[in-house]
Amino acid sequence: MSRRALLRTMAAAAVAGHTPAFAQSAPRIVSLDYGLASTLLSLGIVPLAVSDLADWDKWVVEPVMPPSVVNLGSSWEVNFELLVALKPDIILTTPYLDELLPKLKQVAKVVRLEIYAPGIGPILPAAIAATRKLAVAIDRETEAEGFLARADAFFAECRARLAAKSPPLVALVNFMDARHARIYASPGLYHNVLERIGVRNAWTEESNYWGFQTIAIENLSRVADPDARLIAFEPVPADVLPKIMQSPLWQSLPFARPGHLSILPPALMFGMVNEAMRFGRLLTDLLDPKE
């Protein structure tokens, strides 16, 4: 059984096993952040509603969000009429939505968790701390420790698998158009995962607190290591690959050699522990393919 299938089964089991019991006892929780929503699932709670749910499968993909969850509308313009009608007990939010705080507090108890904020530093430790805080706030501390221990074990396993392979340096990008890309670096989530699983980031410049930098594609030549690999994530705009393949500059970059460019399914770059694990799994499976 593949890792992904296993995780999916576990998530499904958690949902199927717990939902009926929760119907009476579990707090009604709304999440205004993808990472917090997936963390809720891992703590054994199905959120009542999540913002921007329509794009969940495009950016987060897993864990699968049960169909009962309500879409709250745009993540920066949460639908308040809907929110009030849902009568939640707790609303989970992030510094990104601080300007909504006063209004959110009128609706329900607000739990604000800092993961992406100026000066907060490496994202993965911040996400782990936020997971613990969340667990305290919703009384799921045992589940959280279990979940974080699984995450630790998972990263350790990835690290062990890759150590045997002496993995190449990787540069991580999202192509924006045929001339520009976002590249992921310290202190971002992807970068922290690379450190955890013992892979070196080929992009050594420090980026903004979200962990990315916008570059023109020729700047990929600043990647010094000739054996580095380029990992791009879906969605890749349709015209990008054909166009850059025609560029002699691209042809001269190390990434143009066969096997040095990989396209991975989407993994949320602004997520929490689940998203870190998904990224770690996608990357580990890519660098150490299992038959």
- Which residues of the shown chain bind other proteins in the complex (CB under 8 A)? 52, 55, 58-59, 70-74, 76-77, 79-82, 84-86, 96, 98-99, 102-103, 118, 174, 176-180, 182, 205, 208, 210, 212-218, 221, 226, 237-239, 244, 246-250, 252-253
Beta bridge partners of 215: 181
Q: Which is nearer to other proteins, 166 or 252 (CB)?
A: 252
CA distance 229 to 220: 11
Query: Minimum distance from CB of 75 to other proteins (Å)?
Result: 8
Nearer to other proteins, 79 or 262 (CB): 79
What is the Cα 30 distance to its own chain's centre?
19
13 vs 245 by CB, closer to other proteins: 245
> Which residue, 155 or 270, has its beta carbon nearer to other proteins?
270
Please give the single-letter amino acid code of residue 101: L
CB-side exposure of 193: number of CA atoms within 13 Å? 32
- Three-class SS of residue 197? coil
Q: Which residues pair with 171 in a beta bridge?
A: 230
Contacts 24+ apart (CB under 8 A), 13-21: 14/41, 14/42, 14/44, 15/41, 15/46, 15/66, 18/44, 18/45, 18/46, 19/46, 19/66, 19/68
Nearer to other proteins, 151 or 267 (CB): 267
Nearest CB to other proteins, comparing residues 164 and 216:
216
CB of 240 to other proteins, least distance (A): 9
Minimal distance, residue 248 CB to other proteins, in Å: 5
277 by DSSP, 3-state: which? Answer: helix
Closest contact distance (angstroms) between CB of 138 and other proteins is 23
Q: Which is nearer to other proteins, 147 or 175 (CB)?
A: 175
SS3 70: strand
Minimum gap (Å) between residue 289 Cβ and other proteins? 27
Write out the two tokens for 174. Answer: 């999202």
For the bound state, the minimum distance from the C-beta of residue 199 to other proteins, rounded and expressed in Å, comes to 22
Least distance from other proteins to the Cβ atom of residue 21, Å: 23
3-class DSSP assignment, residue 259? coil
At 93 the three-state DSSP class reads: strand
User: Do 9 and 104 meet the contact criterion of CB atoms below 8 Å apart?
Assistant: no
Tokens 């999540």 appear where? 50
To the nearest whole angstrom, how small is the minimum distance from the Cβ of residue 87 to other proteins? 9
Measured from the CB atom, the residue of 99 and 291 that comes closer to other proteins is: 99
Residue 203's φ and ψ, nearest 5 degrees, are -95, 110
